[in-house]
Structure 1
Amino acid sequence: MASNVPTSTGLISSWFVEDLVLDRPDAKAKHIIQCIGSSSLDKGKEFAKKHCPNASPTIYGTYQEVYNNLDVDCVYIGTPHSFHKQNCLDAIAAGKNVLCEKAFTINAAEAKEVFDAAEKKGVYVHEAMWLRHRPLVVELRSLLFDDKVIGDVFRMSSDFSLLIDIPNLPDTSRYKDLNLGAGTLLDLGIYPLTWSFLALDPNKPGASEKPNVFATQTHIDGVEVTSSILLQYPSTGRQGVVTSTTMSGLRDPVVCRIQGTKGHVDVEGAAAAAPLSFTVYRRKPGTKSDTKDDFETKKYDYPKIGRGFIYEADNTAVDIAAGRKESAIMPWGETIRVMEIMDEIRKQGGTKYPQDQA
C-alpha cells in the first residue's frame, strides 16, 4: 500500500518526512515521497537531501506542480495556518486527497468551505491532529471510560508553554503576524485543548458533546500570548483547565493530569504534543487522604518511534486504500467542532484575525 506524500519544506514537514522514511517492518503502509513542493527549487533540493536522503522525490518550485502530478495520491500540507484553506482548496480542485496540519484552518468558516469542496470533488481530507492517533491515547481512553480505572473522571488540566520574545520578532514572523494566525491558541493551545476532549468526553469523534467555554486571553503588541480556558460539560459536570503561553518555557513533565473519584492519571512527556507514558494512581481501599502511600501505581510506557507522526500517516494511507473520505479518528464534524470552540475562545478572549471578516 503506498501513500504518496509531497510536502512543503517547513519544520513540521521535515519532522513528518523523517518519520515517513523510517525503517518499520510492522508499518501498516508503505509510504512513498513522490515529490516535494517548495517556494524555490534550491530550498526543496536541500530539504530532500537533509530529511529524506535515500528517497528520490521530484522537486518543484511551486505547490501547484505537486497538485498536478498524476502519481500523487495524497498531499500533506504543513504550511502556516493561514495558508491551509487555499492550499487545501487547490489540492482538492486537482482531485487530490489531503492530510492537512493542525490547526486545520484559521476559523470554522474556512474549515466548512474546505470540506464542502472535498465533498463535491469526492476526495479524502483529514486534519493531521497526530496526538489522537497515538496508541497511548487509545489505551488511556479505554482505561478511563471502559475500565473506569480511576472511577468517574471529573477534572483534567493541561498546559503548553513556549518562550518566544514576541516584541522583538520581525512583524513578518508567523508568531507575530495576525495574517498568519499568530497567537498561542492555534499553535500551542490546541494540544491541551485536545487533551480536554480526550480526557473528559467518552463519546467517539463525531458524537462528541460541545462543552461550555469560559476563556480569557492576554495580548502583547496585539498578539495573544497567554490563554486560560475553563471547559465544562453540561451532561456530566466534568471540567477541564487548559492553558497556553509564549511568556515562559517552563514545562511540567506531567503534560496532562486527569482526576477521578478513585484516583488520577498523569500523562508524562516533553510537551502536551508529545506524550511518552502515563501513570495510573489508584487510591487504595480505606484510605482517607491522597498522600504517596495511599495509591497503587502502574506506569504505561510506549516506545518512541521517530517523532510520532507515523500513526496518522499510516491511518491516512489505510483510509485512502479503503476508499474512505473521512478519518474515523478525526472526522470532518470533529474538526469543525474544534474550530468552533477555538472561535468562541478567541471571541471571549478578544483575538480577531483578518480572515474572520470574510
Structure 2
Amino acid sequence: MTLIAEPRTAPALRWGILGAGNIAGHFTDALHAETESRAVAVGSRNRDKAARWAAAHGVPTVHGSYAELVADPQVDVVYVATPHSEHREHALLAIAAGKHVLVEKAFTRNAAEAREVLDAAKAAGVFVMEAMWTRFLPHVQALHQILDSGEIGEVVALFADHGQFFPLDPSSRLYDPALAGGALLDLGVYPVSFAHDLLGAPRSVHATGQLTTTGVDGQIGVVLDYGERTQATLSTTLWARTPTTAAITGTDGAITVEGSFYAPTSFTVQRRDGRVWTFDRPTPHGLQFEAAEVARRITEGATQSPRMTWQHTLDVMTTMDTIREQIGVRYPGE
C-alpha cells in the first residue's frame, strides 16, 4: 500500500493566522511540530488576545486587525480560522491582498458564498482550499486505495456520525444563528464530506432534524442516494457524544473505521471470504498533512488541490444547503 508523503518533506511557507482561537492553535502547533513551515504572524480584532495567543504558540508577529495581517509582506499564505459566518469576508480580504488562502471548514455559510470566494481566487490567480483535514490523513488515503482495488467489491452502504455534547448556551457560536451555528456546519460537515470524498456527489438528499431553541440545527439525520443500490447514512448532533465512527460495506466485505473517523485513526477490513486485516499508522496531530498539501501545491504554482478541489467544496456546500433547506434552517442575511 502506497504511503502518504511525510509532511516534513513539503516546502516551507510562511503562514499568517487569521483568528486567534482554539482551532488556530491546534493548526499552528501541528505546523511547527511536524513541518518545515512556520506561522510568522497572527491577526485578531483584539490585539491583547492575539498577543497572548502568539506567546502560547510561538508566533513572533502580532497584528491588531485582519487587514494588517493580510498586508504583512512576510506572509505567504493565510489560514482563516474565524467563525463560519466570517469566512467569506476574511477569505476575500486575503485574496484581495494577493495571498493564498486555507479556509477552515465549513468553507462558507452556503454555496453562493463559496462561489464568490472561488471566483475571486480564480480572478486573482491565488491558491485557495477548504481545510477539510480528513481528506489528507493516511488512513483516508488507504481507504481510497482499498475501494479503488475492489477489495470489498461494490460499495452498497456508507455510515458515518459525528456528535458532541454542548450544553445550551445562546452566547456560544454553536448556538448562534448570526455566527452560522448548528451541528451541520461544525460537526456534520465531516460525515457529509467523507461521503462525498469516497462516493462522490449524491443523486438526491433526504434529511430530517430538530432545531434548538435558538433556531439552529441541534440534530440531523441524512440519507444520500447514489442510485442503483448505494447510499450513505449520516448523522450529527450537538446534544450527545456519539461514537464518531464510520463504516463502508460492499458486496465482498466491510471496513470499520474507528472513532474519531475524521481524525488520525485505524480501520479494520473484514472480507466475505473470512480474511481480516487492520490498518494502523500512529499519527500525532494530523493537521500537518493539509498544511503540507497547501505548501506543495502553492510551490508548484497550482491554485487548487486535487484532493479538495473547488468543485468538491461547492458540491459539499450544495448538499449542506439542501439539508438546511429541508430542516428549515436559515441564517440572518441569507
- What's the TM-score once normalised by structure 2's chain length? 0.93
RMSD: 1.4
Deviation track 1:39-94 (CA, whole Å, cap 9, x = no partner) reads 22221121122222xxx521111111111111111000111100000000111111
Query: Which one-letter code corresponds to 2:296 in the other structure?
Result: V
Q: Which amino acid aligns with 2:38?
A: I
SS in 1 for 2:318: helix
2:284 maps to 1:305 = yes
Paired position in structure 2 for 1:37:
43
Residue identity matched to 2:234: V
Match of 1:9 among 20, 26, 36: 20
Q: CA deviation at 1:275?
A: 4.0
CA distance in 2, matches of 1:299, 1:336: 33
Q: Give the letter for the 1:155 counterpart.
A: A
Which residue pairs with 1:296 in the alignment?
A: 275
Map 1:1-358 → 2, pairs under 5 A: 1-7=11-17, 8-22=19-33, 24=34, 27=35, 30-52=36-58, 56-145=59-148, 147-166=149-168, 169=169, 171-199=170-198, 201=199, 208-221=200-213, 222-234=215-227, 236-251=228-243, 255-269=245-259, 271-284=260-273, 295-306=274-285, 308-356=286-334
Q: Distance in 2 between matches of 1:136 and 1:276?
A: 7
Asked if 1 retains the 8 angstrom alpha-carbon contact of 2:138 and 2:264, the reply is no
Amino-acid identity (%): 38
Tell me the distance in 2 between the aligned counterparts of 1:274 and 1:10: 19
Q: CA deviation at 1:256?
A: 0.3
Q: Distance in 2 between matches of 1:164 and 1:344?
A: 25
Three-state SS of the structure 2 residue aligned to 1:85 is helix
Q: Report how far residue 354 of structure 1 moved.
A: 1.5
Q: Residue 20 of structure 2 contacts residue 43 of structure 2 at CA under 8 Å; is this kept in 1?
A: yes
- Are the counterparts in 2 of residues 195 and 256 from structure 1 also a CA contact under 8 Å? no
| CA distance in 1 between partners of 2:63 and 2:279 (Å) | 43
Instruction: Determine if contact 2:196/2:316 at 8 Å carries over to the other structure.
Output: no
Rounded to whole Å, the distance in 1 between the matches of 2:241 and 2:257 is: 19
Residue 140 (structure 1) shift = 0.9
Task: State the 1:272 CA deviation.
Answer: 3.5
2:276 alignment partner AA:
T
**Paired residue secondary structure (2:126):** coil
Q: Normalising by structure 1, what TM-score? A: 0.87
Residue identity opposite 1:15 in structure 2: H
- 1:182-228 residue CA offsets vs partner (Å, 9 max, x unmatched): 110000001111222233x2xxxxxx444310011101212210000
Tell me, yes or no, if the aligned pair for 2:162 and 2:242 is still in contact at 8 Å: no
AA matched with 1:50:
A
Letter in 2 for 1:258: I
The residue that corresponds to 1:292 in the other structure is none
Total equivalences in the alignment: 322
Secondary structure of 1:265's partner? strand
Counterpart CA distance in 2 for 1:66 and 1:150 is 48
Where in structure 2 are there 5+ consecutive unaligned residues? Answer: 1-10
**C-alpha offsets along residues 305-329 of structure 1, whole Å, 9 cap, x if unaligned?**
22x0011000101111111111111
Moved over 6 A (4+): none
* 8 Å contact kept, 1:36–1:59: yes
Question: Residue 251 of structure 1: SS of its match in structure 2?
Answer: coil
- What's the CA shift for 1:107? 0.3
- Per the alignment, do residues 209 and 247 of structure 1 end up closer, same or farther by CA in structure 2, a change over 3 Å counting? closer
Q: Using the alignment, how far apart are the partners of 1:163 and 1:21 within structure 2?
A: 30
Q: Equivalents in 2 of 1:9, 1:312: separation in Å? A: 19
- What letter corresponds to residue 26 of structure 2 in structure 1? W
Distance of 2:163 and 2:147 partners within structure 1: 26
Deviation at 1:31, TM superposition (A): 0.5
CA distance in 2, matches of 1:195, 1:160: 11
Is contact 1:268-1:275 (8 Å) kept? no
Residues in 2 aligned to 1:181 and 1:258: alpha-carbon distance in whole angstroms: 30
- What is the aligned partner in structure 1 of residue 7 from structure 2? none
Instruction: Name the amino acid aligned to 1:300.
Output: F
SS in structure 2 of the partner of residue 333 of structure 1: helix
